[in-house]
């Protein structure tokens, strides 16, 4: 990782406290100790998420003839509302919604996001840009801070804060949330060694399983991600960019075992309706404990 040399002046007492962290193993020297302190202070300072909600949902017809996929209901709420509420729990309050097919219905439902205590900016695709092109048009809104990218057709109980903390600690260009599954042939699969992603198998089937760890459509990325985007094209797959990053050994994987549903087909949608369970809020947990 590229580093920059800086000179700072600290009070002697502060220097002494910094030196107490040095154990010559995990923290090697004074410079490493200061970097450790800053990393811990900056953990959780991710507040933006790009949500890809522009797909036509052709595999979910007839449900999606008149309703965009992110607005399909589960437990009385649209898929996207569940996702936004989960993001809000991790203080992700600035949402960039990439919309396309029936996008006006998404805008009508969520408005500016103030009802959920968030702020939403909409980016509309006039023509399909695929996952990479949709993210590229959001570059100017991301600035210089890490950010999340999430497919808008998933349901999950993943703690986004845990994912963010892991990403900041491990220093990767992109960290991808991975979920173990017994039917990996439906999804892109990753080979993981420790925290490092070694391979990404975008397309597979039940006869050609490479790994039981599958792509969840959830990323945390550094702004450096945009350096890998093509200069001359606005229509490309983000998955192809991730392959480049993995080839350069700059991609990490974060494995979690919470609930995750990819609502990309009628079969998976019906399964999510039957099985998805929202995690209780802190207030609900507290109320339950009092009753006990």
User: Does residue 119 have a pLDDT over 70?
Assistant: yes
Q: At 142, is the pLDDT very low, low, confident or very high (cuts 50, 70, 90)? A: confident
Tell me the backbone φ, ψ of residue 188, rounded to 5 degrees: -70, 145
The CATH number of 49-278 is 3.90.550.10
Mean pLDDT (the chain) is 85
pLDDT in tens, 83-102: 999 999 888 999 999 998 88
Q: Is the pTM of this model over 0.85?
A: no
The confidence score (pLDDT) of residue 120 equals: 95
User: Does residue 204 have a pLDDT over 80?
Assistant: no
Distances (CA, A) of 224 to 149, 245, 249, 262: 14, 10, 14, 27
The confidence score (pLDDT) of residue 42 equals: 56
Of residues 139, 89, 79, 131, the one with CA closest to residue 110: 79
Query: Taking phi first (over 0 means left), then psi (-120 to 50 degrees means alpha), and beta for anything else, what does residue 48 get?
Result: beta
Question: Poorest-confidence range of 43-47, 75-79, 132-136, 146-150?
Answer: 43-47
The confidence score (pLDDT) of residue 118 equals: 93
Which of 239 and 24 is assigned the larger pLDDT? 239
The confidence score (pLDDT) of residue 228 equals: 95
> At 47, which helix (H) or strand (E)?
none
CA torsion 229-234-238-241 (nearest 10°) is: -30
Q: What residue spans define the domains of the chain?
A: 12-41, 49-278
The residue behind tokens 């949330």 is 177
In whole angstroms, what is the distance from residue 40 CA to residue 183 CA? 37
Question: Within its chain, how far is the Cα of 160 from the centroid?
Answer: 7
Q: At 284, is the pLDDT very low, low, confident or very high (cuts 50, 70, 90)? A: very low
The answer to whether the CB of 156 falls within 8 A of the CB of 235 is no
Q: At 282, is the pLDDT very low, low, confident or very high (cuts 50, 70, 90)? A: very low
In whole angstroms, what is the distance from residue 85 CA to residue 209 CA? 34
The confidence score (pLDDT) of residue 240 equals: 93
Q: At 1, is the pLDDT very low, low, confident or very high (cuts 50, 70, 90)? A: low
User: Does residue 51 have a pLDDT over 80?
Assistant: yes
- Rounded average pLDDT over 38-46: 63
The answer to whether the CB of 122 falls within 8 A of the CB of 228 is no
End-to-end CA distance of the chain: give it in Å, rounded.
51
User: Does residue 153 have a pLDDT over 80?
Assistant: yes
């Amino acid at each position: 990782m590229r580093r920059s040399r800086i000179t700072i002046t600290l009070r002697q007492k502060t220097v002494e406290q910094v030196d107490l962290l040095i154990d010559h193993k995990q923290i090697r020297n004074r410079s490493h100790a200061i970097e450790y302190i800053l990393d811990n202070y900056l953990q959780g300072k991710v507040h933006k998420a790009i949500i890809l909600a522009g797909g036509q949902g052709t595999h979910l017809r007839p449900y999606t003839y008149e309703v965009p996929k992110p607005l399909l209901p589960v437990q009385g709420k649209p898929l996207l509302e569940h996702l936004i509420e989960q993001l809000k729990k991790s203080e992700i309050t600035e949402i960039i919604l990439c919309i396309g097919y029936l996008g006006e219905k998404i805008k009508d439902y969520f408005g500016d996001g103030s009802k959920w205590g968030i702020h939403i900016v909409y980016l509309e695709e006039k023509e399909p840009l695929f996952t990479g092109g949709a993210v590229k048009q959001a570059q100017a809104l991301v600035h210089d801070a890490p950010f999340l990218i999430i497919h808008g057709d998933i349901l999950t109980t993943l703690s986004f804060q845990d994912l963010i903390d892991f990403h900041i600690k491990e220093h990767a260009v992109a960290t991808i949330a991975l979920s173990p599954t017994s039917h990996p042939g439906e999804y892109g699969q990753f080979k993981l060694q420790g925290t490092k992603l070694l391979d990404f198998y975008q397309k597979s089937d039940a006869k050609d399983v490479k790994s039981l760890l599958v792509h969840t459509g959830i990323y945390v990325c550094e702004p450096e991600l945009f350096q890998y985007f093509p200069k001359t094209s606005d229509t490309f797959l983000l998955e192809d960019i991730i392959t480049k990053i993995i080839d350069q050994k700059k991609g990490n994987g974060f494995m979690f075992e919470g609930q995750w549903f990819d609502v990309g087909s009628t079969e998976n949608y019906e399964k999510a309706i039957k099985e998805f369970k929202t995690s209780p809020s802190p207030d609900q947990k507290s109320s339950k404990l009092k009753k006990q």
